[in-house]
Each structure stands twice: as C-alpha cells, then as structure tokens.
Structure 1
Amino acid sequence: MPLITPWRSRALTAALLAAVLTTSTACGDDAPGTSAGGSIKIGLLASLSGTYQAVGTEIRDGFQLYLDTHDGKLGGRQVDLIVADEGNGAQTAVPAATKLLKQDRVSALTGIVGGGSVAGVTPVLNETKVPLVGSNGRPELKDVSRVWHTSYLSDEPGAAIAQHVRDNVKGSVYAIGPDYQGGWDELRGFTDAFGKIGGKLANADGKTTFTPFPATTNFLPYFARIKASGAAAVYTFYAGSAAVDFVKQYAQSEIKDIPLYAAGFLTEGGVLNAQGEAARDIYSVLNYSPDLDNAENRAFVAAWKAKHDGSPTTYALASYDAAAVLDRAIGAAGSDPTPEAINTAIGKLGQIASPRGTWQFSTTTHSPVQKWYLRQVRQDGRALSNTVVGDLATVGR
C-alpha cells in the first residue's frame, strides 16, 4: 500500500543531489554488483525518514530477515547490502537511487515505498540496465522491462474488495482518500470496479473526495459531509500517521456507526497499536495476514517474532519475498550474474512459494497474480489484530 505511495515526482535540482542519505556496507570499483571475493551488491532504497518511516523500516527489516535466515547469501553469493533513504518521495528518492546505481554499482535494486518514487527512478534503471524488485505498491507504468514488484499495483486492493462491498452494503458508499498518486490509484481501483457492478457513490458530485496531503490532520469537516450524504458505508485509503488520525477521529465522530471499509494499510502494522479500540470492527482488504495457515507463513512469522516485537506486516512480507525472488534469480543467472542476466532470470521464475500463498509475476505488469483476503479488526488474545474472515478475488493481469 498500499501503500501506499507518497508524493508526485518533481524536477530535481543540484541541491537535492547533495541531500542523499546513504549508508553502505560495501563500495568499490569492481564490475557492477560483484566484488573480487564473489559477493554481490544489492541496493535497498526505502523511506527511513519522513511520513512513511515505519513502512520503510519494515521493508528494510523484511529483506534483512531473509538474509539472516539464509546465511547472508542470495544465489549462493554473500550479499553486500547498501541501504539508502528514500525520504518522502521522488525528490529525494531519485538522487539516492542514482548513487546506488551509478556510484555503488549495485546488481539489483529493491524496496521503494512511494509510487511516485518508482516512476521517478525507472528512467535511471533503464539507463544503467539494472532491475528493480520493488516491495510496495506502485502505479501502472508504460515500461516495466526492468521493473518487478512483489507487492501489488496500487489500484488492486480496491478492485479486490469492490464486489464484497456491493454485496453487503445496502445503499451508497462514500469514497475518501489523500490527494496524491497513491490515493488516486487506491481509490480509483475501488470506484471503477464498484461502478462497473452497479455500485453508487454517495459523494455529492459522484467523485471521490480527496483530502490535502500531508496537511490534513483534522477530518471532522469531511465526516460532516459524509453524514450529510446519507452514505450507508465508507471506503477509504490512508496509511501512516494519517491513518491513525482518520481512525481515531472516525470512532469519536457522529458517523462512528457507519461501516468502514478500507485498503488494509489503514490498520496495518504499528498504526493498529496506535489506533487501539478506535479500529475495532474495521474491514480491510490485503494480500497478507500473519494468521494465514501455511508452512511458509508459520516459519516466516516465527523468524520475525524471534527478532521483532509484534507480527510481520505486508510490507515486511513483500520485502522478504523480494529477497526470495533475487535469491532464485541470482542463482539461475549462472557464474556471471550481471544485472541483465538477473533481470532475464526473474522473468522465468514461474510460481513462487510465499507466506501469503503461492503467486507468480504477471507477464504484462510484472506484479503478482495473487489472492486477496478480507480482514476485520478483532480481539486476538489480549490484543486487537487484523483477522482473516474470508477470501476475496485473485487479482493480477
């Protein structure tokens, strides 16, 4: 989310290039991505500061968990992981990625929280001929020749839950979300699919209400509009601190009894702890839940809990899977795993066993063809959790 994609891409200036924040475990002048000792350089770019710092931290930690449980190797080669800060979007992501690709000369890039960041970085990927195995939502791109994602396209969560909402809500639905690329994609996925099956929006103009991002912290005026609309339910996408504000204020507002449906990022990870009782009973859609009952997930959750407080999120899961993809692809690339060879190998992987369930890359979008799950915030022991209550559509194209 999912995602979650912060700011739009903007023109970069020389001053932004100086703002790159990078920490490295290796650098040098070897051939791209490899060192004399047979190791391989992988660049990880994630939001380690700014609005989505929590998401970026999960992405970093999910990738590191895979390395920790696989002797620090991918494809049989020791990994030199070079981590850079994406910040709040393309303005800082592009110069950080440029350093990883051109100066550090990584064999592959992974991570990236923002859809706008992905769009901004793609031209540099093509210039350097290095693949990206991204681990968060992204918009549709015209050129995905070197862009792969283990997460989802940003319009897919809403598309996956639209039929369930249509079948279970007797009346119109109010759509609301943040005014940036991620919000546009997430809400469009729902409203387009909902409209095609006869669903009606309660919004006064029949269009999604977008709130200024990241400036909006008081949602009460918007809740007044929702009440006046006569909506039978609300569908939304928010993440990070905005999700906490939205949910807490919703639970205290005059519309608190109107059912709330959302892309799963609204209650995912640490934000659920911050929301507390205010999040109870919220329905959400996501491609993962830590309570999925399969061998891969049981092992993943146990390994995560051995190193971290709480359960893993979809962000950590997608990054763990990104490492798994690179593991197989680097191994399949042979004795000389060049970026081009790795990119070719990714396209031939076929089905991938994962804690979320088996999935595979779409040949057209390079994003997963995967099952989506309906979750509800329920009591789980002494804590609230996102509990799977049903299967939704399998989405991917």
Structure 2
Amino acid sequence: MTQPLRPSRRGLAALASASLLLPATACTSSAAQADTIRIGLLVSLTGTYTAVGEDMQRGFRLYLDTHDGKLGGRTVDLVVADEGDGPATAVPAAQRLLERDRVVALSGLVGGATVDKVQTVATERKVPLVGANARPAFAPVAGKPRDLAYTWHTSYNSDEPGIAIAEYVKAQIGDGEVYAIGPDYQGGWDELRGFTDTFAMLGGRLANPDGKTLFTPFPATENFLPYLNKAAESEPKAVYTFYAGGASVAFVKQYRQSDLKDVPLYAAGFLTEGSVLSAQGSAATGIRNVLNYSPTLTNPANQQFIAAWSAAGHAGQPTTYAMASYDAAAVLDRALSAVDGQVTGEKLNTAIGQVGRVVSPRGDWQFHPREHRPVQRWYLREVKPDGPVLSNVVLQDLTTLPAN
C-alpha cells in the first residue's frame, strides 16, 4: 500500500511553529493576522484512490510551502484526515475535523459520494467546504434545491468531462455506436451519465445491448477482461469510460489485451492522470481524453506551477488533482486576506464569494455565481511522448463549462 505523504521539512517547520500558538482570541486585525488557523484537508490516505489523495496533499502543501506556511497572512495548521473509499470513512473524519479540531474550512475530498454527505455536515456547522476534486450534480432534498451556500469547488461537476467530449466523439465516429463502461458508484454514474446523455442528445447511440452503460462492481473489480471481451461482441466504433486510481491501471492494460484492443478508447482524463500513466506505460498510448488541465499548457501560471513542483522534488508531472488543490489553497489565501479580525466560518464563506477571477495553471477561471464551481475551459488530450516521458498532451480546446 502506498504510504501517506509526509509533510516537507518546510511544512513541518510551519506546523511546529504553529503548535506553539494559542487559538485565536484577539479582536484587532493586526493580532488576528498573527494567529494560527486550522484548515482540514480530507483526502484518501487509504483505499482505491490513495494516489489521488497524495497528489491533492502535494498540491495544497506546495501552495503553503511557497507562501511561508501562511494563508491570508495567518499561519496554517493543516490537519489531514482519511477519506478512505467513501462516506463510511469520510463522514466521521469530517465530523472530527469540525468538532474536535475546530477547523475554519474543509478542503480535499476525492469521491462524489463523499462530497454529497460531507457538504451537508459542513453546511450545518456553517464552515465552508472548498472541495478540490469530484463533485456530484446534487439532487434536490425533499423536493427543494440543495443548500450550496457553504459548498465551493475548485474542480468540476462530475458529469462535465463527459459533457465536454461527447460532441467530439460523435464527430469522430459518425453514425457508429459507442460502448459505455464505468465503475458502479456515484462518481461512475455521474461521469458516464454526462457523456451518454449528451451523446444521445446529439443523435448518438450506445452499442451496449440494452442501451445502458455497463457498470462494474466498485471497488472489487480487478479483472476487466470478461467485461471487455463481452463488449467487443457488440462491435462498437469506440469505447467511452471513466476509471481512476488503481482501477485505471488494470483497465488500460487489460484493454490492450482484450478483443477491443484496436477500437479507439475515449475517456474522462482521470483514466491516464498522474502516477497511473507511468504504471500503464505504452498501453495508454493513443488514448484520447478530456480534462480541465494538462501539464503541457503554456500559460505563465502553469510554467510557475511546474517549476515549483519540480523544485519541491516531486517525481513526474503535476496532475489536475494537485492543481485543483493548489487552487483551493489560493482561494482560501485570497479570502482570508479579506477577513478582518477573528476568522469564523461565516466571515470566511462571505469572503470566498468575493474572490473573483482566479489566475490558475489551468487558465483563468471564476466561480459560477449560483453553483459555486469553476467556469473553465476543457481540453482534449492524447497520451503521447512529451520529450522522454508519456504525457497527456493538449490537442485542442473543447468547450467552456458551465455554459451559463
């Protein structure tokens, strides 16, 4: 099992000095600026998405380490907790962060089902959740819209990757059919629904025998070959999928061993993102995928981000997980700078809503005024050599979401 990421020496120094300070009690702005605040980072330290959780830690800590361990002029005590594989682990951890550790904000969160539950807990406590990975398209509660007043995300809605690439896939295969396959849990449902619903609206058809996505048991499935060989019997023109973490390595390697090996594979970009791409190796070459970030983007903010990433000694290229977590820290930095006096969840939440445009490695973005998620560009990427390594190289812009 991959070990949880350890703080950098600089991060440890910041935390050590923070532990010597008392909780905030001063009323004046100048005194408050010197206080330590606690922020909870809830990510997968165990389970299927450990690698994703580690990258999210790296991104948040990278921002702290390049800002002297402070956000908004205040020293940060970053309290990291384990999300595990879903709400059963994550909700108790979130409650401890809120009640025992008394954090002023929560960040992180790998899985959509986790977000759905944790955002309710954070809202009840009036503590902002600045999520940095999957976010479900929240269903109404008792017929009423979900209360998102304290829920923010620097990532995306989980259905957006599929929405963004569906038109491109339809143009590539014409009247052909696509086979849709993904994991049987909230994230998989959202990711595949975004693609299949949009593809259907464009006149596309699924090759699946019943016209419905095939969902594989999560997180139990390790052998995908029976599913892939069965899918090949429908003779699709292409396959669309979403997997992430350890499952994506097995899926990609077995895809190249299956009867589908010569069928074009399109995916949400998490399939080939980060350390899983190194593990997949040449089996991933040629996969076209969609995401809101690529390390090959040439904007100045991304060049600075990559330089800082490399200087920190991290192996490989930064990922969308690290980038979104880095941006979550940046949002909190700007918001905390605008909070006068003692930091409360309510004051901080108001300040987050006034952050405005964020200059980011992905390209500039800003929060949607109602849904509190980024209005951002989505990119078509292809796995191919970028110098001596395989990378998700940007081919073109696809669209900006949400559209309104």
TM-score computed with the length of structure 2 as normaliser: 0.89
1:335 shift after superposition: 2.4
Tell me the residue number matched to 1:98: 95
Match of 1:133 among 130, 134, 148: 130
Secondary structure class of the residue paired with 1:229: coil
1:93 shift after superposition: 0.6
Q: Is the CA contact (8 Å cut-off) linking 2:123 and 2:151 kept in structure 1?
A: no
Q: CA RMSD in A?
A: 1.9
Quick one: which amino acid aligns to residue 54 of structure 2? T
**Structure 2: unaligned runs, 5 residues or longer:** 1-14, 139-145
Match of 1:379 among 362, 385, 403: 385
Tell me the residue number matched to 1:346: 352
Q: Is the CA contact (8 Å cut-off) linking 1:27 and 1:104 kept in structure 2?
A: no
Match of 2:168 among 157, 164, 179: 164
Tell me the residue number matched to 1:30: 23
TM-score computed with the length of structure 1 as normaliser: 0.91
1:337 shift after superposition: 2.6
Secondary structure class of the residue paired with 1:176: strand
Q: How does 1:204-283 map to 2 (within 5 A)?
A: 204-283=209-288
Q: Distance in 2 between matches of 1:27 and 1:132?
A: 27
Q: Is the CA contact (8 Å cut-off) linking 1:33 and 1:40 kept in structure 2?
A: no
1:49 equivalent to 2:52? Answer no
Q: Distance in 1 between matches of 2:157 and 2:388?
A: 34
**Structure 1: unaligned runs, 5 residues or longer:** 1-22
Identity %: 62
Q: Distance in 1 between matches of 2:200 and 2:42?
A: 36
Q: Is the CA contact (8 Å cut-off) linking 1:33 and 1:41 kept in structure 2?
A: no
Q: Tell me how many residue pairs correspond in the alignment.
A: 375
Alpha-carbon deviations, 1:334-378, whole Å to 9, x = none? 223321111011111111110000101111211111000000000
Secondary structure class of the residue paired with 1:281: coil
Runs of 4+ residues over 4 Å off in structure 1: 23-29, 31-37
1:313 equivalent to 2:322? Answer no
Secondary structure class of the residue paired with 2:251: helix
Tell me the residue number matched to 2:371: 365
Q: Is the CA contact (8 Å cut-off) linking 1:32 and 1:105 kept in structure 2?
A: no
1:311 shift after superposition: 0.7
Quick one: which amino acid aligns to residue 239 of structure 1? A
> Relative to structure 2, which stretch is displaced further, 76-85 or 234-243?
76-85
1:127 shift after superposition: 2.1
Quick one: which amino acid aligns to residue 383 of structure 1? V
Secondary structure class of the residue paired with 2:148: coil
Q: Distance in 2 between matches of 1:33 and 1:233?
A: 62
Q: Distance in 2 between matches of 1:283 and 1:44?
A: 32
Quick one: which amino acid aligns to residue 99 of structure 2? K
Match of 1:304 among 306, 309, 315: 309
